[in-house]
Structure 1
């Protein structure tokens, strides 16, 4: 059936009839393929390169480098996305990212480690988060308001799957190009192709076609930048559907961050190859594929779940499923169950994310939507990095930490309570 089955209510032909939606998908998919390629290439260079050693702190730093940049860039990006032509932003940002990918790959090839390498990765992923927020803020300009849930199911979920494909491409290229610094550099450098294709796809839009239609910011750009995060926070706080969704998604990211660190260490140091499932970077690839499959299933089930049960019950149910999977599968600490748990947790988290995406796009005005998405992405990544950082100080070097996984299950239940407290029963 595929992820396109998620749009059964509208029909694939009707949703894809708009050329704008197809062009935006092309830009998004190319960018996310490049992101997956870059992250897997750089992750392999740092975590699974025999020329380098990785302990929990090193893994945490690497994940922070890949995900934390937007906590700094978010306020700036939000203001710019609600002030500048989003089409131009997407073109320029993608081209800039391509240049930074090449520079970072060269640093990997030269054997550079520490601050210089991390700085290059920070810049690449910072620009990537800028692009992601711009694409999300632009979606209501190419899709009717009534079809945003279905469009989000396709765009966000297939985009995540394409990112997983990019990661799989990087993993497949490693044994071909080499697992040393030179091979890692070549693998990482291939990510530039995604940036170039994304820029070309974005350039096909007309000027102003992606918004913003209007803006309410002060004339001084720096003042607008300074106000970006606060404006997004106020808009989210006064919208119960969005504020409650933030609470649900942030607790998922906290729990998932703990699980990610434990899983990576288990793959590197604890697990051994089985008949079907593999340890090492091949095992990481299988887990990523499991997570992508979970997201695809979420794309299929989220629209009917929201339509039949309402957004409130769909999100609450996803948190309950995630808590049960974390406790029932993760605690077994066996290679097959970890992959299966990744499938369930990624799928449940995607149900929450798709529902929150629609809430922001439907309930937040276009004049401030970019700033809310910037705040959204900021908190999304900060929660994950904070969880990884805290777990890194207590997790054993080999990753065998059932107590941490049990704690993550409790975090999901805390998120459920927070969500139900903030969300109103009469909201959809």
Structure 2
């Protein structure tokens, strides 16, 4: 009897200790998410919601890994290629359809985000019912719909970030906080989901994800009201209302376009590296360790690189996002060149780590550029286009990796990718230099043509006056803004649909 009581007391103490530890961890996480005014503006709530969203996606992935999307390393290259093409479907849907729909419902963004979460909860419930009878006609479409709604949530979340940004936090830092907590939540949820799937069955993991997504939908509705933006009327030059024009790559402006092209190159390299190294290991062309151990080491390196990218992004508060994007591309190029020259297991691990680091940091900087440069009326459409292009680049890189793994060794394949990266970097730097020279030439021409009898500009204007125009110097990397004297006041002018840098 006494032994039973002692065991019971020990179990009770262990339970209380675990509960106390969990409570302390929760309080510490709350202090981090709500720091620097994030709790006051709603950023802290958005971080927690996105972390829970990422955990839900991880549970779905763990549940489906043993049923529909299991991808062993010895699978035929043709089946891998089909898998890559399937992953493009959600992005093809998001870009032309979901982004414009989100832009049309700016005044109800909380409810749109909640709808994506409620929808995924219902889809998970349907997949749970279809797991035991192996009803692929239900599981497969539902899984793709879950991916589409997940990307719709990410697009909407990125679009509202400026609305919840505290004054003391830069956009890159805020995006990094969201990404860091999302990665940690997914990293915790995946082993839990995998263990529960093995012990209880995938259907119970999906039922748990159903409850989690439904709770998240309630939390999304409870986000601050200023997340919703009023539906503004867009006026043409004659003051008439005009229909919105959907954002395309051709009119996002040079700053966004350059950042997007750099990220496309980084994402192409990332997709290439994943499948190229995977099949090199399978074909035993990457000696040093046993193939399962090598794959594990590469996976750990990629995960560490992603976390490092999010952590570094939270520290670079005062650095230009454009410079960050180009720096990540330059770092990836240099490491790939070194790995191509001295190819072995550890240089392959280094290039995998740097590729994941550059992909994470470069994407966070790109998000900040889009959030800063693109008007609210088409921001979701722009993010939809960005996500689609990045996914297409990743798939193309994976297909190139599959093809080169058939006949090219490690040095040759990495040399090809290093050439692509170096060419992309050189082209982007040359275009940036030409834009800078053209901007300087315009400013000099405007100053040279200034009327000699024009009065000096007031010191508060921060620029020089030229007849009917004010020339205001802008920060490096942007175009000089021209404001005419006969323009209406700023509060009466509507925001242009196109990027002012375009």
CA-to-aligned-CA distance 1:101-141 (integer Å, 9 cap, x gap): 3444555554566x865433321111110010010111111
Unpaired runs of 5+ in structure 1? 1-10, 219-226
Match of 1:407 among 396, 416, 435: 416
Q: What is the match of residue 210 of structure 1?
A: 227
Q: What is the match of residue 363 of structure 2?
A: 353
Q: What is the match of residue 472 of structure 2?
A: none
Larger CA Rg, structure 1 vs 2: 2
Q: Which of the pair is proportionally richer in helix?
A: 1
Deviation at 1:62, TM superposition (A): 2.7
Deviation at 1:318, TM superposition (A): 1.2
Asked if 1:37 corresponds to 2:54, the answer is no
Structure with more relative contact order (C-alpha pairs < 8 Å, separation 6 or more)? 1
Q: What is the match of residue 132 of structure 1?
A: 154
Asked if 1:150 corresponds to 2:173, the answer is yes
Q: What is the match of residue 54 of structure 1?
A: 75
Is the contact made by 1:290 and 1:342 (CA closer than 8 Å) also made in structure 2? no
Q: What CA distance in whole angstroms lies between the structure 1 residues aligned with 2:133 and 2:203?
A: 8
Q: What CA distance in whole angstroms lies between the structure 2 residues aligned with 1:132 and 1:193?
A: 20
Q: What is the match of residue 223 of structure 1?
A: none
Q: What CA distance in whole angstroms lies between the structure 2 residues aligned with 1:330 and 1:187?
A: 43
Q: What CA distance in whole angstroms lies between the structure 1 residues aligned with 2:372 and 2:117?
A: 27
Q: What is the match of residue 275 of structure 2?
A: 261
Work out the number of aligned pairs and report it: 395
**Secondary structure in 1 matching 2:406:** coil
Is the contact made by 1:78 and 1:373 (CA closer than 8 Å) also made in structure 2? yes
CA-to-aligned-CA distance 1:324-379 (integer Å, 9 cap, x gap): 22343478675555444332212122222222111111111111111111111111
CA-to-aligned-CA distance 1:2-61 (integer Å, 9 cap, x gap): xxxxxxxxx9732424251111112111112222333355446567578x9622232333
Q: What CA distance in whole angstroms lies between the structure 2 residues aligned with 1:419 and 1:150?
A: 25
**Secondary structure in 1 matching 2:42:** helix
Q: What is the match of residue 48 of structure 2?
A: 26
Match of 2:259 among 237, 241, 245: 245
1:334 to 1:197, Cα distance in 2 relative to 1, 3 A: farther
Q: What is the match of residue 391 of structure 2?
A: 381
Q: What CA distance in whole angstroms lies between the structure 1 residues aligned with 2:282 and 2:191?
A: 17
Pairing 1:105-254 to 2, within 5 Å after superposition: 109-111=132-134, 118-144=140-166, 147-171=170-194, 176-177=198-199, 183=201, 191-192=209-210, 194-205=212-223, 209-216=226-233, 231-233=246-248, 237-254=251-268
Q: What CA distance in whole angstroms lies between the structure 1 residues aligned with 2:69 and 2:109?
A: 36
Q: What CA distance in whole angstroms lies between the structure 2 residues aligned with 1:326 and 1:186?
A: 43
Asked if 1:368 corresponds to 2:378, the answer is yes
Is the contact made by 2:39 and 2:45 (CA closer than 8 Å) also made in structure 1? no
Q: What CA distance in whole angstroms lies between the structure 1 residues aligned with 2:76 and 2:38?
A: 46
Deviation at 1:231, TM superposition (A): 1.9
Unpaired runs of 5+ in structure 2? 1-32, 236-242, 437-475, 479-502
Q: What CA distance in whole angstroms lies between the structure 1 residues aligned with 2:419 and 2:253?
A: 27
Is the contact made by 2:163 and 2:226 (CA closer than 8 Å) also made in structure 1? yes
Pairing 1:238-317 to 2, within 5 Å after superposition: 238-265=252-279, 270=284, 278-279=293-294, 282=296, 286-304=300-318, 306=319, 310-317=320-327
Is the contact made by 2:49 and 2:219 (CA closer than 8 Å) also made in structure 1? yes
Deviation at 1:194, TM superposition (A): 4.7
Is the contact made by 1:173 and 1:187 (CA closer than 8 Å) also made in structure 2? yes
Match of 1:427 among 477, 480, 487: 477
Q: What CA distance in whole angstroms lies between the structure 2 residues aligned with 1:185 and 1:251?
A: 39
Taking structure 2 as the reference length, the TM-score comes to 0.67
Is the contact made by 1:97 and 1:195 (CA closer than 8 Å) also made in structure 2? yes
Q: What CA distance in whole angstroms lies between the structure 2 residues aligned with 1:109 and 1:210?
A: 41
Deviation at 1:260, TM superposition (A): 1.6
Q: What CA distance in whole angstroms lies between the structure 2 residues aligned with 1:87 and 1:360?
A: 20
1:266 to 1:70, Cα distance in 2 relative to 1, 3 A: same
Q: What CA distance in whole angstroms lies between the structure 1 residues aligned with 2:205 and 2:266?
A: 31
**Cα-Cα RMSD:** 3.8
